[in-house]
Amino acid sequence: MSSTTDKIKGYTNEAVGKAKRAAGEALDDPDLKLEGDIQEAKGDTQKAVGKGKEALKDTIDKL
């Protein structure tokens, strides 16, 4: 997977996770809130992987 794809998926998962967390808070549904927190964390991880791949590619390109 490319760094751009990782970052796009990360931002998407982060946004969906935030929406689920907000819905869980509004509906007083702790399971939905937890699901949102987990999905948001997954998105953060995917973004970090994408940024790491990009940094590695930039470093290799400079060599």
Report pLDDT for 1: 77
Can you tell me the mean pLDDT for 27-46? 97
8 pLDDT above the threshold of 80 = yes
Task: For residue 16, count CB atoms less than 10 angstroms from its CB and return exposed for 0-12, middle for 13-18, buried for 19 or more.
Answer: middle
pLDDT band at 16 (very low <50, low <70, confident <90, very high): very high
The per-residue pLDDT for range 40-60, each reduced to its tens digit, is 999 999 999 999 999 999 999
Tell me what percent of the residues of the chain surpass a pLDDT of 70.
100
Which among 3, 27, 5 has a CA at the least distance from the CA of 36? 27
Q: What is the 3-state secondary structure (H, E, C) of the chain?
A: CCHHHHHHHHHHHHHHHHHHHHHHHHCCCHHHHHHHHHHHHHHHHHHHHHHHHHHHHHHHHHC
